[in-house]
Structure 1
Amino acid sequence: MVAQSERVVSRGFKVGVWRAYMEVNHQVLTAIERALADRHRLSISEFDVLVNIPLAGTRLKDLKERVVLTQSALSRLFDRLAQRGLLARSPLEEDQRGAMITLTEEGRKLLRAAVRTNAEVVERTFAGKLTDDELRTLDALVARLKAPEVSEG
């Protein structure tokens, strides 16, 4: 007789675990999006852009590499945030087509508040439901999943 731990996990179980992970991810993101919209009038994409701009600023093309948006979507989002007075664009002397993107003082203030909101929601809907040991284990597992695949050959 094969011990429980030695049994091969079925494909159906694997897919079920993946589905559960996606559902948890959706629940947490939905809660974050709702809180950011209610408290700060920010979408999750706008928050993602703001949180990925270093204090010293960044080039728009470098920002594109840190967020999950197309170039045109990022440009439209930048325009909305600039109209709200949260971002500023300044030309780069060494690159006529490039621009440096910085947070305005109002943008930094909003970002600080939104980061606190994000952390509160993550704690309430995700991290607070796990022990410290469970979080460390999950962190190690996610790190394995994020590791690039090594091609054989």
Structure 2
Amino acid sequence: MEDTVWLTAPQLDAWRKFISVVELLPGALDSQLQRDAELSHFEYFVLAMLSEAPGRTLRMTQLAGETNATLPRLSHVVSRLETRGYLDRVPCPEDRRATNAVLSEAGWEKVVATAPGHVRTVRENVIDVLDDDDVADLDRIMARMLARLDPDNRFGSVSGR
């Protein structure tokens, strides 16, 4: 028995546009960051999350949650960033079984130097093409989608960062 509820023409149009943005936006973000800072978007995201954390420090498990990464993927990227002097891994003082990632002074300087270009790219490709009502709609729509995709808020997006 066929019980598939197919998308209507307007739903399919919206879906195709959404998928196009999902596919094209990461490339635009990565291109700018590679060109201007020699960082991937994910590397920058890791550094940015650490820059916003108290003491510029997060447990690796928390950093994985905030960047929506598996621990193996995060560990690989953290190793590269550590080699470049942007962060350090240190034992967690509260739990010796855990490891903290700590943004170094060089990492902080990299974030400070990189953020303006990244924000320009985000504005050019997302924010500036929307009016204030569109931004509010985007926020509302993304919150609804995230509530379904990330009901435990592992990605930390509901906090309003």
Shorter-chain TM band: 0.7 to 0.9
Instruction: Name the CA shift for 1:100/1:131 in 2 (closer, same or farther; >3 Å).
Output: same
Kindly state the Cα deviation for residue 115 of structure 1 after the two structures are TM-superposed: 2.2
Q: CA deviation at 1:55?
A: 4.5
Match of 1:32 in 2: 29
- The two structures, once aligned, show a CA RMSD in angstroms of 2.0
Q: Compute the displacement of 1:109 (Å).
A: 1.0
Match of 2:135 in 1: 135
TM-score normalized with structure 2 length: 0.78
After superposition, give the CA deviation of every residue in 1:48-87 in whole Å (9 maximum; x if it has no partner): 2112221510111211111122211111111100000000
Structure 2 residue runs of 5 or longer lacking an equivalent are 1-6, 152-161
Aligned twin of 1:52: 49
> Quick one: distance in 1 between partners of 2:91 and 2:144?
41
User: Partners of 1:122 and 1:73 in 2: how far apart?
Assistant: 24
**Match for residue 17 of structure 1?**
14
TM-score by length of 1: 0.81
Which protein shows a greater Rg? 1
Q: Does structure 2 retain, via aligned residues, the 8 Å contact 1:86–1:104?
A: yes
Is this contact kept in 2: 1:55–1:103, CA < 8 A?
A: no
**Count of matched residue pairs:** 141
Aligned structure 1 segments of 4 or more residues deviating by more than 3 angstroms: none
CA contact (8 A) 1:87 1:101 kept: yes
**Distance change (3 Å), C-alpha of 1:67 and 1:74:** same
Matched residue SS, 1:52: helix
Contact 2:88 2:104 survives alignment (8 Å): yes
Summarize the alignment of residues 1-153 of structure 1 with structure 2, pairs less than 5 Å apart.
11-53=8-50, 54-56=53-55, 57-148=57-148
Distance 1:68 1:145, change over 3 A: closer
Identical-pair percentage: 27
